[in-house]
Structure formats: structure tokens, C-alpha cells
Amino acid sequence: MSTPVPRLALAGIGKAYPSVVANADIDLAVMPGEVHALLGENGAGKSTLMKIVYGVVQPDAGEIRWEGEPTVIATPADARRLGIGMVFQHFSLFETLTVAENVAIGLDEHASPRALAPRIVAVSHRYGLDVDPARPVYSLSVGERQRVEIVRALLGRPKLLILDEPTSVLTPQAAEALFVVLRQLSEEGVSILYISHKLEEIRALAARATVLRGGRVVATVDPRAESPAALARHMIGRELPPPVARAPHPVGPVRLAAAGLTLEPETPHGTRLEDVSFELRAGEILGIAGVSGNGQSELLAAISGERQAPSPAMLLLDGEPAGALGAGARRKHGLAYVPERRLGHATVPEMSLAENTLLTAHRRGLVQGGLVRRDAARQRAAETMKAFDVRAGGVNAAAESLSGGNLQKFVVGREVALAPKVLVVAQPTWGVDVGATAFIRAELVRLRDAGAAVLVVSEDLDELLEVSDRIAVLYRGRLTPPVDAAAHDAESIGLLMGGAHASA
């Protein structure tokens, strides 16, 4: 009986950049119909390796075999012709084009956006990844953009599908629906390379897992036979930090409040906020759950000052009307903000980490007499990198050169270092490895214990249940009354995210 030929085989793959070795002597084989997981810390080389497979990056050494034949994948078009589809962690969508136009560009077949629209709707409905083909991408939330990427990849009918953190912004119910799809694709012979930091997902889906550390393969295991703790040890080379200890903590005065906040969307495809009310006190974490596209972007813009409320009294900071204040004025009142989009919103991609530090910390002694103290900015950036274990080529490295997880650690660290009265953070650990996730969540709780008021907007229910004192759900622009996080589980909150309270 002949041995099956791997659909994809990598042998001795290496890739180095001036400041780092991304991949070194990597061997990897994926069989037809296999769900193969790729694990590793942020910066371990996973994304670089997958970009090599997809033709975005060329290896310095090694060989790629596709269905047994030596292959050079020079471009993503070459990869798609072979039958390789990829959903990136950092999306590759054109902001000003519609969903259908973006899908048309990403497919090699010659089909007009209008002709593709019914297929997009059919695939999105079938897989529970609803997207509107006519919507412009700039109006989509991060979660909705991810759905577009997944639908686009599935429309290419891939033989090998690479998914990079596909469930990071999905509810448990939606994630389970995606797992059903992936298992079905696997049964149909589609190979799947699955990158995730959620170890329980890996154990539920994958038959094999290759673990990278420092750009090298350190283990290939059957994740079903490994505990999450054992998988984490393979990834980070040490014991996983314990879960966040969130002891009861006395709360102080109301720091941030919304009072009947009603806000029209900026685009025809946005979500109207309707009568949103909540109070956030010093010394507590309020979590806001919800599926992407239910008004999170509008709420965050209204709180951060990127949009003004119709009435100043609809938003209060320390009891003072703040709805008419701009973002800078709110920061002067002690508000700090971590947006969900790291590149282009939280940071300027081409600017160095030291320069990006200036964006929000310039009031903290980094500018004097109208002159920038560059040495002080570099020192502050270095302190953030050390405190949050940000792995990059130094404080002069461009933001766009960092892996997604390392950039997120930098952005969170930059805002936490301001010691804010109020911290508003969206998707704090999206795409961040297990060790860094535990660290960031612990920092949020530490900030809360120091007396700050923390608002966490996330679609990761495990995250919200771990760090939050109270949780509310945003659904179609309306916010449910907050509930005690300790009295609920992911299933009950997930049902609310799907609109169970509205139907009731």
C-alpha cells in the first residue's frame, strides 16, 4: 500500500531579515483533508512562513513541494492557481471599494462584482458569515472585514486553506458554526492550515500541530493528546502564567457615563446607537460584548471623542458634560484609548515606535517649549517595550514591521503607561499569544485595582468573563443592562450577542 503524498511539504525553509531570523530550517507536511495547526508566540515566525506558502514572501533557503512536485510560488496568483487560499490576520482589502469589488480583485476568474454578488450572499449565508456585497469596506468593522476575507477565500474553492486567527472576533456560536464548515471542508479533502492562539480550538479541530519558537520547529504533536498547559509550554518554553486573579475590589465614583446616547451612523451601512446608557466607576472593569457591526465602532468613536454626541450631556467624564469635547480634550481629562485597528488607527504604520509614542504621550514631558524631546520619547518607548515584552528591532523600528501581537502589546503598553483615569480598550488581545494574553489581561486588572475605570469592548467572551466585573451586550445599537460577570458563562452571554434578549 503506497504512502499518501502530502498536499504541501516544506523542507529546510529559511528566511532572514536584517534584524531578525524569521524562519530557520523548517520542515512541515500537510496531508490531503488534514486540519494542521501552527502554534507559536507572537514573532515566532508563523506569519512569515504562511506568507512564503502563499507567495507573498520568497524563502532564502529550502524547498516547497506541492502534491509531490517541487514548486516555486513566486506570487499569490501562483498560489491561488495551485489551489491555495489564505485569510490574513492583517486584512488585504481596499477601503474605498465595495465587498464585491474586493472579492472580484482577489479571484483569478474574470467575473464582475455584480455577477459575484449572488455567490457572495450564498456562501456567506451557508457559512453564517453574512456580509453585504454592496457595502464599502471602510464602513466595516474589524470582524466584518474578517468575514469578507473568509468568504473571498472560500469562493476560490481552495485545496489548501490557510486561516490566521479566524475566530478571534466571532461569538462562540459563530465560531462553532465555522468549525462545522472546516470539518466539512476537511471531509471533502480540503487541507487546512490553522493558526490560532486559542488552544482549546486547536485541540478540538486539529489532528496534528507544529509548534514554532524563535523561528524554528520545536515540536510536532497530536494536540488531542496534549493538555492546553502542555501546548502552551511547547509554545513559550515555560509554564503558562496563572489565570488573572480578580479579587473583589471597592468601587469609587462614576468616571465615565453615557446618558441616553443616541447617534446616527456616519455611513448608510453603519449602526444607529439608540438610547445607550451605562455608568463606569473607578476601580471596575465593564465589558461590552457584541458581534461585529452592532454599533461598537460608533460607540467607541463617541466615547473616544472621534465623534461628538448630539448633546454634551449624553456623555459624562467625572460628572462633567463631555459629549462636545474632541479627542484631545478628553485625553486631558484622563481618558486613554486603544482602538481595535492597530495599523492606521492606533499607530501610523511608517512611523517608528518612538514617534508613535508621541501621538498620545506628548503631554507627559515629551514636548517642551514646542520642541520634541526625542531622547525622552525613545526612552519612554524603550520602557514600554521592556515592560510589555515587545519584540522588535528597537525603538526606531517602524510600527508596520512588528507582528500583530507585538504591535498590540506596544499599543496597550503605551496607553497603560499614561496611568489614565479611564481606559477604553477594544479587542485588547486579538491575535495575541497565550503568554502575552495573560499578561495584558493582568495589566487591565492591575489598572482597575489601582483605581482606574476600564471599559473593554471585545468579542472574546472568555476574555470578558475573565477580566470584567460587569458585562453588557450591544445588539443593533442598543445596550442591555449590565449583569454580574461572575453569574454568567460564555453560552448565556453569546445568546444575548445573537439577539436573544431582543426576541424575548
Residue 368 dihedral angles phi and psi, to the nearest 5°:
-135, 130
For 270-279, write each residue's pLDDT tens digit.
889 999 999 9
What are the helix and strand counts (H, E) for the chain?
A: 17, 23
Q: CATH number of the domain at 211, please.
A: 3.40.50.300
Which region holds residue 408: left if phi is over 0, alpha if psi is between -120 and 50, else beta? Answer: alpha
| Amino acid identity for residue 224 in this structure | R
Report pLDDT for 174.
65
Q: Is the pLDDT of residue 355 over 70?
A: yes
Asked if 351 and 471 sit in the same domain, the reply is: yes
For residue 76, tell me if it sits in a domain.
yes
Residues 200 and 281 in one domain: no
Handedness of CA 53, 54, 58, 63 (dihedral sign): positive
pLDDT band at 503 (very low <50, low <70, confident <90, very high): very low
CB 209 within 8 A of CB 58: no
| Nearest CA-CA partner of 473 in 301, 288, 340 | 288
In a domain, 246, yes or no: no
Question: 228 and 320: one domain?
Answer: no
The reply to whether 169 and 260 lie within a common domain is no
- Count of domains for the chain: 2
- Whether residues 92 and 121 fall in one domain: yes
Torsion of CA 378, 384, 390, 392, to 10 degrees: 0
Q: What are the beta bridge partners of residue 87?
A: 163
496 has pLDDT over 80: no
Q: 451, 283 in Cβ contact below 8 A?
A: yes
Please tell me whether residues 341 and 415 are part of one structural domain: yes
If asked whether residues 21 and 164 sit together in one domain, one would say: yes
- Is there a domain that residue 13 lies in? yes
Same domain, 231 and 314: no
171 lies in the same domain as 294: no
Query: Could you tell me if 12 and 90 lie in one domain?
Result: yes
Is 284 found in the same domain as 230? no
Containing structural domain, residue 152: 8-236
The answer as to whether 244 is a domain residue is: no
- pLDDT tens, residue by residue, 32-86: 999 999 988 877 888 889 999 999 999 999 999 999 999 999 999 899 999 999 8
Inside any domain, residue 48: yes
Handedness of CA 32, 10, 80, 38 (dihedral sign): positive
CB of 194 within 8 A of CB of 39?
Answer: no
For the entire predicted model, the pTM comes to 0.71
Measured CA to CA, the distance from residue 68 to residue 79 in angstroms comes to 15
Of 9-13, 201-205, 232-236, 311-315, the one with minimum mean pLDDT is 232-236
